[in-house]
Amino acid sequence: MIKTVLFDMDGVLYDSMPVHVWAWSEVSEKYRLNYTPEDFYLLEGRTGDTTLDVLFQRTFQRNATEKEKKDIYQEKVCLFNQANTGRVMPGAKNVLERVKAYDLEALIVTGSGQHSLIDKLNQDFPGSFRREKMVTGFDVQYGKPDPEPYLMGLEKAGVQASEAVVIENAPLGVRSAVAAGIFTVAVNTGPLPDKVLWDEGAGLLFPSMIVLAQNFAGVLNR
Ligand code: MG
């Protein structure tokens, strides 16, 4: 029986991925890192530090230094905050209404280290999430795609993997959740083909949070 729904944040609850991609592209230009905008959808879910390691390995065949990570990620966060509209993903509120209607607990498991979005959650989804039960980029050592963040989410919720379901939009997020042994529902809210989400082990896939809300009972009764 499902007791808990673990939600990824960016691209699931907030329509924030285009702004993240823009901000990452800006700092990548500035520091002459090899990238394409699509890379940031494929890398989504990683912490800032490991995203930079991937880009530095590709460009300079070495990891980023601690100072580079701190400076560049800070710049990226700053750009993101300037441009972020804080737009809630269409359908996200409907999904959380379903979660409440079925008396389930909702938790956030995000790689994000963006205080601006994390602080907004209570405003946009009042009563849905408890701060002390959130897993963010500040809590983890490895982050997605490692199973660590979702295992931490299960622990904070006090449930077994079989009692939870994950809602994810990112391929590496799906990989992380599946590796934690949790049934994972993909919502493809970005530009990547469905196949990349299926290939990571998604158990179900919906084209939007709106359609997920409409089919929520089916997810619980699968
Ligand atoms: Mg996401």
What would the pLDDT profile of 104-120 be if each residue is shown by its tens digit? 999 999 988 777 777 78
CATH number at residue 31: 1.10.150.240
For 41-69, write each residue's pLDDT tens digit: 999 999 899 999 999 999 999 999 999 99
Beta strands in the chain, from DSSP E residues, in sequence order: 4-7, 105-108, 164-168, 183-187, 204-206
pLDDT of 3 higher than 80: yes
76 and 169 in a common domain: no
Centre of ligand 1 to C-alpha 104, Å, is: 21
CA 154/CA 27 separation, integer angstroms:
34
Segment 24-32 shows an average pLDDT of 98
For 124-174, write each residue's pLDDT tens digit: 999 999 888 999 988 999 999 999 999 999 999 999 999 999 999 999 999
CA 67/CA 74 separation, integer angstroms:
11
Identify the pLDDT of residue 137. Answer: 86
Average pLDDT, the chain: 95
CATH number at residue 117: 3.40.50.1000
Identify the pLDDT of residue 131. Answer: 84
Identify the pLDDT of residue 138. Answer: 87
- In the structure encoding, which two tokens stand for residue 158, read together? 């006090």
Centre of ligand 1 to C-alpha 68, Å, is: 24
Structural domain span for residue 24: 17-83
Look at residues 208, 207, 206 and name the one whose alpha carbon lies nearest to residue 219.
Answer: 206
Measured CA angle at 19 (ends 6, 98), to 5 deg: 30
Segment 61-86 shows an average pLDDT of 96
Look at residues 9, 12, 8, 21 and name the one whose alpha carbon lies nearest to residue 83.
Answer: 21
CA 203/CA 164 separation, integer angstroms:
13
Centre of ligand 1 to C-alpha 159, Å, is: 22
Q: Are 24 and 125 in contact (CB under 8 A)?
A: no
Segment 66-79 shows an average pLDDT of 97
In this structure, which amino acid lies at residue 64?
Answer: A
Centre of ligand 1 to C-alpha 109, Å, is: 9
Centre of ligand 1 to C-alpha 103, Å, is: 24
Centre of ligand 1 to C-alpha 61, Å, is: 27
Chain centroid, CA 207 distance in Å: 16
Segment 94-103 shows an average pLDDT of 97
110 and 207 in a common domain: yes
Identify any residues that bridge with 10 across adjacent strands, giving them in sequence order.
Answer: 14
Residues bordering ligand 1, an ion, CB closer than 5 Å: 8, 10-11, 169-170
Centre of ligand 1 to C-alpha 192, Å, is: 13
Centre of ligand 1 to C-alpha 64, Å, is: 23
Centre of ligand 1 to C-alpha 57, Å, is: 23
Identify the pLDDT of residue 113. Answer: 76
What proportion of the chain, given as a percentage, has pLDDT over 90? 90
38 and 78 in a common domain: yes
Centre of ligand 1 to C-alpha 173, Å, is: 7
33 and 46 in a common domain: yes
99 and 64 in a common domain: no
Centre of ligand 1 to C-alpha 87, Å, is: 14
Centre of ligand 1 to C-alpha 14, Å, is: 9
Neighbours of 42 (CB within 10 A): 16
In angstroms, the first-to-last Cα distance of the chain is 11
The pTM (predicted TM-score) of the whole model is 0.94
Q: How many domains in the chain? A: 2
pLDDT of 89 higher than 90: yes
pLDDT of 76 higher than 80: yes
What proportion of the chain, given as a percentage, has pLDDT over 70? 99
The DSSP code for 159 is -
170 and 108 in a common domain: yes
State which of 66, 83, 100 marks the end of a domain.
83
Q: Are 89 and 212 in contact (CB under 8 A)?
A: no
133 and 65 in a common domain: no
In this predicted structure, which of 32-36, 40-44, 133-137, 202-206 has the lowest mean pLDDT?
133-137
Centre of ligand 1 to C-alpha 43, Å, is: 10
11 and 40 in a common domain: no
CA 215/CA 213 separation, integer angstroms:
5
State which of 44, 67, 83 marks the end of a domain.
83
Centre of ligand 1 to C-alpha 118, Å, is: 13
